[in-house]
Amino acid sequence: MAGKKIAKNIKFEEALSELEAVVEKLENGELPLEDAIEEFQRGTELSKICLEKLNRAKATVKKLVVDPDDETDYHTEDFAEMEEESAGSDWEGND
């Protein structure tokens, strides 16, 4: 099995779909060792690509903060600031 190159401009959804297929193949447990190693390496590369794309998307997300006393007064904050504020809160649905 020759390792397929991953396109540099692969879309997140495509990389994630390929990663899921790799995981399924590896979980199946029927690949010869050499093929399993190649699939694992491909999965690792796809995982890094997905993480990089998610981090870039996260960096562009802004939180819109509205003044509760004057709904016409608002500003934006970086996503990182939003994470820090909600670190102890239940915004992700965690109990």
pLDDT of residue 2: 53
- What are the pLDDT digits (tens) for 4-57? 788 889 999 999 999 999 999 999 999 999 999 999 999 999 999 999 999 888
- How confident is the model at residue 76, as a pLDDT? 76
Residue pair 48/8 in contact (Cβ under 8 Å)? The answer is no
Provide the residue ranges of all domains of the chain, joining segments of one domain with +: 12-59, 61-95
Residue 39 contacts residue 19 (beta carbons within 8 Å): no
Q: Is 23 exposed, middle or buried (0-12, 13-18, 19+ CB in 10 A)?
A: middle
What's the whole-model pTM score?
0.64
If you compute the radius of gyration of the chain from its CA atoms, what whole number of angstroms results? Answer: 20
Comparing CA positions, the residue from 10, 80, 81, 77 lying closest to residue 46 is 10
Which of the 8 DSSP states describes residue 69? T
pLDDT at 92: 45
For residue 70, what pLDDT is reported? 78
pLDDT at 95 over 80: no
The torsion region of residue 93 among left (phi > 0), alpha (psi -120 to 50) and beta comes to left
